[in-house]
């Protein structure tokens, strides 16, 4: 995936997270996408969400499952 597509995919994922946060009335401090070795995502008690970069190339349905199980 080239840089432009990857940046667009990151923003799309971040927007999906913000949309779900609004629906669920929760506050998200930050959304980060980086390489993770053992899991799809993690979250901190401070509201920081981190997603594995391989999730960017997965289906919308899988992304939603990871965002809101």
Residue 45 in tokens: 């008690």
User: Mean pLDDT over residues 40-47, rounded?
Assistant: 94
Task: Supply the pTM of this predicted model.
Answer: 0.88
- Domain range summary for the chain, segments of one domain joined by +: 3-67
- 3-class DSSP state for residue 64? helix
Residue pair 28/49 in contact (Cβ under 8 Å)? The answer is: yes
For 3-67, the fitting CATH number among 1.10.443.10, 3.30.2010.10, 3.60.21.10, 3.50.50.60 is 3.30.2010.10
Task: Please enumerate in sequence order all residues whose Cβ is within 8 A of that of 56, keeping only pairs 6 or more positions apart, or say none.
Answer: 1, 6, 9, 10, 13, 33
Catalogue the E-assigned strands of 1-69: 30-34, 41-43, 48-52
Q: What is the pLDDT of residues 2-26, one digit of tens each?
A: 788 888 999 999 999 999 999 999 9
User: Mean pLDDT over residues 45-69, rounded?
Assistant: 94
Q: What is the pLDDT of residue 14?
A: 95
């Amino acid at each position: 995936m080239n840089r432009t597509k990857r940046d667009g995919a990151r923003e799309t994922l971040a927007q999906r997270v913000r949309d779900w946060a609004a629906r669920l009335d929760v506050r998200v401090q930050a959304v980060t996408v980086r390489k993770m070795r053992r899991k799809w995502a993690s979250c901190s008690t401070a509201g920081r969400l981190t997603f594995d970069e391989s999730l960017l190339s997965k289906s919308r349905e899988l992304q939603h499952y990871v965002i809101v199980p």
